[in-house]
Amino acid sequence: MKHAGLTVLLAVSVSLALHALPPFPPPEIVGRVTGVVDGDTIEVLITSLPASAPEGLATGQTVEIRYIGVDAPELAEANGWDATDLNSALVAGKTVYLELDEEIWDVHGRLLAYVYLDPGGYLMVNLMLVATEIVTARYDPGTDRYQAVFRYFDAVPAPTLPPEEACVPWNEAQAHVGEVSCVEGEVAGVGTSRQGHVFINLGNPYPNENRFTIFIPARCVGRFEAQFGPRFWRSLVGKVVSAFGEITLYQGVPEIELCDPSRLVIREE
């Protein structure tokens, strides 16, 4: 579900970039996502505010934000966790840009906002979620700015995708070197280098050459920790994981290098 959903969101983001939203000024409030509550609510640390910021907002404050126009299933409902996973894949740990409407707060004290992934105000997370099959549009009184756009994206069917191919078992990965594929297996060992790189070995631990390695460069480790938690690799031994990317050979051992957390799936028993 996650890989398919992310492909849909990628298609929607391209559509948004090509078809600009109505000519409102770019979002002026900047923050960093510190938590994903569910499919339509996040927690954001405010890092920058304009002089015209509404009362009740301050730099350094963490606020709970409800996406305007988005109605995701609750966690206890069908697709609730899928919607939350998609939301997390889009925004977890990222810098986001917030645009407000006439109504600022909801009845629960949450900030109502349009949330963007870019400072120009083209890649709106709210619309990406509404364009999927598991999230619908809703109308929040006092938030009319993009109502027609939400109605359009809610009515247009989500892109249809070909069935996902099964993952390649870790011990067959060498036969697929040069291909972009999914590789799956049980984690036999993990390690880090002096430079901060992370190595997740499937099938057999290092230095056994009969293994498959998921390589996370040091520059990307923070993204994975934002998604899975600090030093998440330490708890992976014995768990089944899958990685999606180009299979390459390094010193005779097949591996996939990952920099995007959405391409790593940890199978929870």
Distances (CA, A) of 30 to 20, 25, 55, 61, 86: 20, 14, 16, 12, 21
- More confident call, 229 vs 200: 200
Calculate the CA 31 to chain-centre distance: 16
Task: Give the burial string for 118-129 (b: 16+ CB within 10 Å, else e).
Answer: beebbbbbbbbb
What long-range pairs does 103-106 form, CB within 8 A, spacing at least 24? 103/140, 103/141, 103/142, 103/143, 104/54, 104/56, 105/56, 106/66, 106/140
Catalytic residue among 28, 32, 43, 110: 110
Separation of alpha carbons 166 and 17, rounded Å: 32
Q: Could you state, in order of their start, the residue ranges of all structural domains in the chain?
A: 2-155, 168-267
Q: Is the CATH code 1.10.510.10 the one for domain 168-267?
A: no
- Specify the pLDDT at position 25: 84
In this prediction, residues 90-113 reach a mean pLDDT of 94
| Amino acid (one-letter) located at 234 | R
- Specify the pLDDT at position 193: 95
Class of domain 2-155: mainly beta
Condensed to tens digits (0 to 9), the pLDDT of residues 135-165 reads 899 988 899 999 888 888 777 765 554 455 5
Known active-site residue 74: yes
Separation of alpha carbons 42 and 55, rounded Å: 20
In this prediction, residues 21-32 reach a mean pLDDT of 82
On whether the pTM is more than 0.85, the answer is no
In this prediction, residues 224-249 reach a mean pLDDT of 92
Q: How much is the mean pLDDT over the chain?
A: 87
